[in-house]
Amino acid sequence: MKDNLIFLGIETSCDETAASVVSVKNNKAVIHSNVISSQVEEHLKFGGVVPENAARSHAEKIDIIIKKAMTDSRCKFEDLDGIATTAGPGLLVCLMVGLSAGKTLAGFLKKPFLAINHLEGHALTPRMFEHIEFPYLLLLISGGHSQFLIAEGVGKYKRIGTSIDDALGEAFDKTAKMIGLSYPGGPKIEKLAEKGDPNFYKLPKPIFNNPGCNMSFAGLKTSILQISKKIKNKKAKENLAASFQKTINDILYKKCSNAMHEFLKLYKPKNNHFIVSGGVAANQSIRNNLRALSEKLNFSIFFPPFELCTDNGAMIAWAGIERFRLGFRDELNFEARPRWPLDMNAPFLKGAGVKH
Ligand code: KG4
Ligand code: ZN
């Protein structure tokens, strides 16, 4: 098999229209282009993503984004070894736009087609640049998901914990909205929190003392809503943002510690590797918190590069390459899967494999 495979990746599962050309050389990824068009401005008016609006916007832009990804990469369509496209989980009408584009291109160009699970894109991103062997412990924290998984191999995941209600990114976004910050709130809360007192407000930590590594973030909302109604000035908002972020960090520290112990007990791994990925993994305070825990429990921790934490086409192209190398191929009648958990055997709990 060629060792310098080159793939186009297409991503339209939520509010980013993205395409990227990635190749692999000596087992490391080379990103030739990474084009992302965010719909944030368009969704601001509604305080979040409205599926029909998002799908229309994807449809308007997808051709231009793919064309730009190809032009930026200086590759020709004929050079591609395959086309990888997100097929789920996500908003059905949005997924269908990228999927139709990817399947049409693959069919027309007679290239292999790979339907990618968006979550696997996040899960494999750090392997683009570092040799991280399976099995590893994975914390996936994004706008639609918060899960602990053991990545046993490409396409093989075991879920050991999940949020039983809101996803972590959702908690950040809702908190931001309650204190008057626009969508997406995660980066804005992080910034505001820098100036606040993290111990000013005592916020609830639901199921904190339960064994295992399930998490719950919905209870925080009620408490924050009540406080946010009473506060007016900037300082109080900074204190609330800082207290919220500290509460999240306390929950993550405890639950990641439980997950690490469980991973060691279940797998007795050769390497103690811990990957944190998804949009919320861009948060520096969370990174520092989990770095400290990893050091204490003797784990090596890996994050995606900052710009690959949130949704992008490069992670989809890379997942395509990883799957292609192992012989996976998908048919051109592959249908979008709005719900597509990485661990099909895990019991359904809200927040565990469903987006929005
Ligand atoms: O992975 P992603 O782009 O989309 C999904 O697959 O859901 O994640 C988006 C989420 C949003 O909820 C956003 O607020 C959050 O990631 N996020 C952050 C930060 N940057 C993005 N949350 C906290 N701190 C950040 N710096
Ligand atoms: Zn994502």
pTM listed for this prediction: 0.95
Q: Is 278 in the pocket of ligand 1 (CB under 6 A)?
A: yes
- The confidence score (pLDDT) of residue 16 equals 92
Residue 351 pLDDT exceeds 70: no
Using the atom order of ligand 1, give the atom closest to the CA of residue 185: 14
Q: What is the number of the ligand closest to the CA of 319?
A: 2
- The confidence score (pLDDT) of residue 353 equals 46
Cβ burial, residue 148 (10 Å; 0-12/13-18/19+)? buried
Q: Name the phi and psi angles at 102, rounded to 5.
A: -65, -45
In this structure, what is the dihedral angle of CA atoms 220, 225, 230, 235, given to the nearest 10 degrees?
60
Residue 126 pLDDT exceeds 90: yes
Using CA atoms, how far apart are residues 224 and 201, in angstroms rounded to an integer?
10
Q: Give the mutation target among 142, 276, 339 for probing the ligand 1 site: most ligand atoms within 8 A of CB.
A: 142
pLDDT tens profile 14-29: 989 999 999 998 889 9
Percent helix, strand and coil across the chain, each to the nearest 5: 45, 20, 35
Q: What is the mean pLDDT of residues 253-273?
A: 97
Q: Is 280 in the pocket of ligand 1 (CB under 6 A)?
A: yes
Q: Is 310 in the pocket of ligand 1 (CB under 6 A)?
A: yes
Residue 210 pLDDT exceeds 90: yes
Using the atom order of ligand 1, give the atom closest to the CA of residue 184: 14
Q: What is the mean pLDDT of residues 328-344?
A: 97
- The confidence score (pLDDT) of residue 355 equals 43
- The confidence score (pLDDT) of residue 323 equals 98
State the chain's mean pLDDT as an integer: 94
Using the atom order of ligand 1, give the atom closest to the CA of residue 309: 1
Give all domains of the chain, ordered by start, each with its CATH number. Answer: 5-126+307-325 (3.30.420.40), 135-304 (3.30.420.40)
Band of pLDDT at residue 43, cut at 50, 70 and 90: low
Residue 45 pLDDT exceeds 80: no
Band of pLDDT at residue 1, cut at 50, 70 and 90: low
